[in-house]
């Protein structure tokens, strides 16, 4: 689980979860945005090459339910679609996109996660839920850049 | 409370392991505030069809498909809105006589 990517994503190896961040991502539509968010996990070594498209299919098949709350989407797919480790990524878009969600559009912030099996991520994601209830999204929106995004996300997660 | 057992509550989403897990956490917080003894599980909509919980919670795009699954179906739009979910749970559980 050593992953350190160059360019658009910063990855950090950790005993619990790999954390990735991408700032100022440009996306023409929600598919691009989902791909960008999931690609940060691929770049960090937490997910395989096919994961971004699998994440797009989740929304195509199930609707834009991954837009959990105003402006925030939780990008993910099933473990067998390419989850190599528990990974959590944050992507901040240069300009928000519409997912077609009845209440929570437009989306400017995407969290993405992947997991190697159906249980490995539960602790990490529970921590993420707790952090989101405690204002994590606002702290991420106020981040000064990519490194700051990664730092804030990492601080919010147990074992990351 | 009027029910002499734990309430069985199901949080649903499309994949059943991410968004619904977030919703489960929110629901557990809301139920704790209400003082309701409940067990909350999370799963995907297809798996949910084979289950028979007391309460189902999910987004409208999913609860529409499983409206006959449980006596109480709660539709939410914000997975993290604990106060909103707590208000809906209070009203709907009281209707059922499960919360006084």
Give the model confidence (pLDDT) of A40-71 as tens digits.
999 999 999 999 999 999 999 999 999 999 99
ipTM score for this prediction:
0.89
| Cα B98 from chain centre | 14
Q: Is A149:A119 a contact under the CB 8 Å cutoff?
A: no
Query: Hey, which residues 9-48 in chain A have their CB within 8 Å of chain B?
Result: none
Going by pLDDT thresholds of 50, 70 and 90, the confidence category of residue A4 is: very low
Residue of A69, A125, A130 lying closest to B18 (CB–CB): A125
The answer to whether the CB atoms of B17 and A121 lie below 8 A apart is: yes
Q: Average pLDDT for residues B35-47, to the nearest whole number?
A: 95
Q: Which residue has the higher pLDDT, A96 or A5?
A: A96
Q: Residue A160's pLDDT is what?
A: 65
Q: What is the mean pLDDT of chain A?
A: 90
- The whole-number pLDDT of residue B3 equals 76
Q: Scanning every residue of chain B, which has its alpha carbon at the shortest distance from the alpha carbon of A61?
A: B14
Q: Average per-residue pLDDT in chain B?
A: 93
**Structural domains of chain A in order of their starting residue, each with its CATH number:** 25-105+112-157 (3.40.930.10)
For residues A18-26, average pLDDT: 96
Inform me whether the pLDDT recorded for B67 exceeds 60: yes
Pairing of the two strands B7-13 and B55-59 = parallel
Of the candidates B21, B98, B12, B2, the residue with the CA atom closest to the CA atom of residue B54:
B98
Q: How far is B2 from chain A (nearest CA, A)?
A: 31
How many residues in chain B? 100
- Report the percentage of chain A scoring pLDDT > 90: 81
- How far is residue A102 from each of residues A105, B78, B98, measured CA to CA in Å? 7, 11, 31
Tell me the average pLDDT across A72-90.
96
Share of chain B above pLDDT 70, in %: 98
Q: Which pLDDT tens digit goes with each residue over B13-37?
A: 999 989 999 999 999 999 999 999 9
Res A116 pLDDT > 50: yes
Exposed e or buried b per residue across A116-149, where buried means at least 16 C-beta atoms within 10 angstroms of its C-beta: beeebbeebbbbbbbbbbeebbebbeebeebeeb
How far is residue A132 from each of residues A70, A119, B14, measured CA to CA in Å?
12, 20, 20
Q: Is residue B45 pLDDT above 80, yes or no?
A: yes
List the 11-40 stretch of B: residues with Cβ below 8 A of A: 13-15, 17-19, 21-22, 25-26, 29
User: Please, what are the domains in chain B?
Assistant: 7-94 (3.40.50.2300)
Q: How sure is the predictor about B100, in pLDDT bands with cuts at 50, 70 and 90?
A: confident
Q: What is the pLDDT of residue A15?
A: 56
Contact A153, A140 (CB under 8 A): yes
């Amino acid at each position: 689980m050593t992953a350190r990517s160059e360019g658009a994503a910063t990855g950090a190896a950790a005993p619990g979860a790999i954390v990735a961040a991408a700032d100022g991502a440009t996306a023409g539509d929600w598919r691009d945005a989902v791909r960008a968010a999931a690609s940060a996990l691929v770049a960090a070594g937490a997910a395989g090459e096919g994961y971004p498209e699998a994440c797009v299919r989740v929304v195509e098949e199930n609707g834009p339910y991954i837009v959990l709350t105003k402006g925030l989407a939780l990008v993910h797919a099933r473990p067998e679609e390419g989850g190599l480790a528990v990974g959590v990524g944050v992507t901040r878009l240069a300009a928000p996109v519409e997912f077609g969600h009845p209440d929570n559009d437009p989306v400017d912030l995407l969290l993405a996660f992947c997991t190697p099996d159906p249980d490995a991520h539960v602790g990490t994601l529970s921590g993420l839920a707790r952090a989101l209830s405690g204002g994590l999204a606002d702290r991420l929106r106020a981040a000064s850049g990519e490194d700051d995004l990664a730092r804030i996300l990492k601080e919010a997660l147990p074992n990351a | 409370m009027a029910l002499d057992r734990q309430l069985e509550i199901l949080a649903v989403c499309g994949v059943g392991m991410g968004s619904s897990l977030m919703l489960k956490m929110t629901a557990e917080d809301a139920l704790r505030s209400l003082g309701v003894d409940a067990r909350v599980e999370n799963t995907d909509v297809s798996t949910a069809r084979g289950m028979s919980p007391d309460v189902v919670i999910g987004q409208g795009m999913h609860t529409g498909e499983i409206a006959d699954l449980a006596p109480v179906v709660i539709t939410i739009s914000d997975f993290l809105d604990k106060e909103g979910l707590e208000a809906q749970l209070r009203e709907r559980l009281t209707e059922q006589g499960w919360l006084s």
